[in-house]
Structure 1
Amino acid sequence: MPRNIKKVRKAKSNKAKKFEASSSSNPVVASGPAKVWQPGVDALEDGEELQFDPEAYNYLRGFSIGWSCLSFDVVRDQLGLVRSEFPHTFYGVAGTQAEKASWNYIGVFKLSNISGKKREPIPASAVDGDTDMDSDSSSDEEDEEINEDTKPILHMKKVAHAGCVNRIRSMTQKPHICATWGDTGHVQVWDLSSFLNSLAESGSATPAPKEDDIIHKHLPVKVFSGHQKEGYAIDWSPLVTGRLVSGDCNKCIHLWEPTPNSWNVDANPFVGHSASVEDLQWSPMEADVFASCSVDGTIAIWDIRKGKKPCISINAHKDDVNVISWNRFASNMIASGSDDGSFSVHDLRSIEDPLAANFKYHKKAITSIEWSPHEASSLAVTSEDHQLTIWDLSLEKDAEEEAEFREKMKEQANAPEDLPPQLLFIHQGQRDLKELHWHPQIPSMIISTAVDGFNVLMPSNIGTTIPGNTDAAMASAEP
């Protein structure tokens, strides 16, 4: 059932998790050939734990805003449309899942002083066994970990929210306007400009110890109580400022249209699914078209000019469809993630047979999926199997290249034959991952939330090339 994969366990998270590369003065030498350890397939022995390779990341850090968060969003800023140089700063909003309803809040935060490395390609000498390079790199990582100047600085404002936040989304055109879906059954719209402006003025100073603990009373600018049940699905239109859709567990979708001072919410819902609506996505190219997915296993395409029934219905998965993402560069492509651990890509140009690709790598329910805002063929996925994976769907298996690579890397372990060639990166270390977002203005940066807090990661093998039309497509707004 969808509730099992959606709700975060309501327990206070620990402090931000530190990721440190471990070293040993007495390394254990394997007696047999090296083997690739596969998450979700191979088990760890008693006393064993995984350690990440610092060379795999340009940046990796954990942080927490207090209670676990089921949902968050990146707030677009005016610090630059495309940023590639450290240090980085990013703004975000997140909704909590507190132990008591009255303890919940929206966390409006700024994470600054994100200082990592822009790594150069590995020279041939490193492949040939240049131990000096390895030791220098390890030393650099250790220096970075203990250097206070490299630690990120978190500033946060807490805004009281009635009940748990099932989902939160920041408007593309006016990022200080956010919508929340609460477990009370209400959809609320908030103007968070005063809090974001305060964070922007905070500079790089470390906040006072009690400053972030204050929960501010702040009224929403709009509350809609017309849904008969709580829900999770909500999305702002990227093309029409202020246009919103919200979907609930009672199969209903409501359209919000902006007015000069508020919103008009159509009381007559869109109805076409036979079970709970789990996610919504507006088309990146057509202002009047949006997509929905449902526990009934389908994806529906709607045109608000053509009545309250779907124009297209796709049998996407045999199990619940939890999440969808519409590709902004290839607008005929929609990705979807299911309760059975599979995710698929659907081509809307072929309605009779829209399935373009299907991947069954993950072992548990898919909880989030999102196309890269910078690369048309790249997407990222989170799952209840505690993995975040990054994929490039333009890649195909090449036997000649693989044979040549194995010859160069004779002493390295070979990847399993059934490992998908499109799989670029596997990130672990978080428990019960719930949602991820690519940063729209910082190429290769991904933020993810889980039961035990947030991670900010920048994999070293993810490119930073930006399509020529990206600048025009991005919105720059407050803070």
Structure 2
Amino acid sequence: MSAADENTLPQEDDGFEEMEASGSDEDDMEGEGENGESETKVYIPGLEPLQPGEELEMDRSAYRMYHECQTGSPCLSFDVVRDGDGEGREQFPLSMVLCAGTQADTALSNRIIVMRMHNLYGNDQEKEENESSDGESDEDDEEDQDRKPQLELAMMPHYGGINRIRVTQRGEQTLAAVWSEKGQVEIFDLRSQLEAVHNSSAMSAFIKQQKEATPLFSFSGHMTEGFAVDWSPKVPGRLVSGDCKKNIHVWEPQEGGTSWKIDQRPFSSHTKSVEDLQWSPTEATVFASCSVDQSIRIWDIRAPPNSMLSADEAHSSDINVISWNRTEPFILSGGDDGVLKVWDLRQFQSGRPVASFKQHSAPVTSVEWSPIDSSVFAASAADDVVSQWDLSVESCDVGEQAEGLKQLPPQLLFLHQGQKEVKELHWHPQIPGVLISTALSGFNVFRTISV
């Protein structure tokens, strides 16, 4: 279990931030042994503070892949754009496309960013072990250059900081739904940005335009800002959005792909701000919500305006995020109390979770089930930790564990550190085990040895 050192990335001549490969999970902590020699031990976040003079050191062997990048202003929300490079791909080098929105210092400085990361190699343990003190040869230098990660950014100016961004496919369209501090939910077509990050001539033309992002469609009916938004996985173009005044609206796509019909009568059973929304992966008309009012609710759009099911006082404080399992009847939630809870929808009305974990020491900021393993999920929190979990693990032989590890739940697979104020994470739906997280300090893209 570990922590990864934060690296400052240099700026490339072409204006893009360089991605640099680094690695680690089981970051070791060094101290003085009895003989004055350096002693290495595992550092467990939350159990003991670092002592004066102690530093965290990254252990590359704990990662199959680790990269990080920066995009200027921090992106506090992002989504993965599905691509045509294939499902279940694991062979290096890897590539991926993300869409993100910034929270800049001024409203005029914000951007909607489409980024393509490519030439992503895994951690080459064998090469590291064989590096000698004789110095690197010219061949090694050339190989390192060939393996250098690449990043292309297509950025559109957007007035107002972006609270949440979600991407979907509707026919040939790649659409982004954007909740911003202006109090509007806007829909953008990402075609020109996607062309730019894949083609140098298209990028040149895109840069010359440099015009402010123009939405296909926008909705101001919330009358305030919000954070909750989700595209339906069952009905292309169907959307749900929730605001800080407790109201939820469902959007129905119209023919042509450029307009939506939004019922002005909101779903309004919550009494405080709606923080997150998730469509059911199996029922086209059903979605879930969580709120500052400490409840999780299940809704059916055929029966507005009240929820069908409710777990009141699901957490002891604000519930920030939820995730609906793709294949099992489970919902995962995380709150300001730092607790992660798993809810079985077959027992939802009981108000009792089937699992509860208090590993994080600060409010949970993001949760998501793995898209390929229904028992695995990841979470992030304001304690600067990303955790990975596997509910299928029931027990382990604590007798063989290090003393500190005995205090950890057996379902906890991995603790990843190194970012400041982690805000959101997503598993890549097409690359098994790869997790992307964004924070004030930038993006991490990694796969641990645990998944």
Aligned pairs (5 A) from 1:3-152: 18=20, 20=22, 30-31=33-34, 35-117=41-123, 135-136=129-130, 147-152=144-149
| Superposition deviation, residue 19 in structure 1 | 6.0
- The amino acid across from 2:367 in the alignment is I
Which residue number corresponds to residue 3 of structure 1? none
On the 8 A contact 1:144/1:150 being kept in 2, the answer is no
| Superposition deviation, residue 105 in structure 1 | 0.9
On the 8 A contact 1:158/1:214 being kept in 2, the answer is no
On the 8 A contact 2:76/2:163 being kept in 1, the answer is yes
Aligned pairs (5 A) from 1:267-306: 267-306=264-303
In 2, distance between residues paired with 1:21 and 1:81? 25
For residues 52 and 117 of structure 1, do their structure 2 counterparts lie closer, same or farther at Cα, with a shift above 3 Å needed?
Answer: closer
On the 8 A contact 1:157/1:215 being kept in 2, the answer is no
Aligned match of 1:256 in 251, 258, 264? 251
For residues 362 and 75 of structure 1, do their structure 2 counterparts lie closer, same or farther at Cα, with a shift above 3 Å needed?
Answer: same
For residues 353 and 274 of structure 1, do their structure 2 counterparts lie closer, same or farther at Cα, with a shift above 3 Å needed?
Answer: closer
Which residue number corresponds to residue 458 of structure 1? 447
In 2, distance between residues paired with 1:451 and 1:46? 26
In 2, distance between residues paired with 1:306 and 1:166? 29
Q: TM-score, normalised by structure 2?
A: 0.86
On the 8 A contact 1:21/1:51 being kept in 2, the answer is no
| Superposition deviation, residue 236 in structure 1 | 0.1
Deviations 1:292-311 (A, max 9, x none): 00001000000001121000
Deviations 1:319-360 (A, max 9, x none): 100000000010x10000010111100001012244110000
Aligned pairs (5 A) from 1:427-442: 427-442=416-431
In 2, distance between residues paired with 1:114 and 1:20? 11
In 1, distance between residues paired with 2:41 and 2:373? 32
Aligned pairs (5 A) from 1:251-400: 251-261=246-256, 262-315=259-312, 316-330=314-328, 332-350=329-347, 351-398=349-396
Instruction: Give SS of 2:152's match.
Output: strand
In 2, distance between residues paired with 1:254 and 1:247? 6
On the 8 A contact 1:172/1:238 being kept in 2, the answer is no
Report % sequence identity. Answer: 45
Deviations 1:371-423 (A, max 9, x none): 0001000000000000001000110123xx444x45xxxxxx44432201011
Which residue number corresponds to residue 181 of structure 2? 183
- The amino acid across from 2:310 in the alignment is S
On the 8 A contact 2:19/2:151 being kept in 1, the answer is no
Instruction: Give SS of 1:270's match.
Output: coil
Instruction: Give SS of 2:98's match.
Output: strand
Instruction: Give SS of 1:147's match.
Output: helix
Aligned match of 1:238 in 233, 242, 267? 233
User: Number of residues paired by the alignment?
Assistant: 419
Which residue number corresponds to residue 444 of structure 1? 433
| Superposition deviation, residue 88 in structure 1 | 0.7
- The amino acid across from 1:433 in the alignment is V
Deviations 1:103-143 (A, max 9, x none): 11101110010111588xxxxxxxxxxxx99843899xx96
Instruction: Give SS of 2:354's match.
Output: strand
- The amino acid across from 2:429 in the alignment is P
In 2, distance between residues paired with 1:138 and 1:369? 42
In 1, distance between residues paired with 2:51 and 2:60? 23
- The amino acid across from 2:412 in the alignment is L
Deviations 1:210-258 (A, max 9, x none): 9979843331000100012100000000000100000000000011000
In 2, distance between residues paired with 1:289 and 1:138? 59
Greater relative CO (CA pairs within 8 A, separation 6+): 1
On the 8 A contact 1:172/1:236 being kept in 2, the answer is no
- The amino acid across from 1:287 in the alignment is A
In 2, distance between residues paired with 1:145 and 1:296? 57
Q: TM-score, normalised by structure 1?
A: 0.81
Which residue number corresponds to residue 166 of structure 1? 163
Instruction: Give SS of 1:361's match.
Output: coil
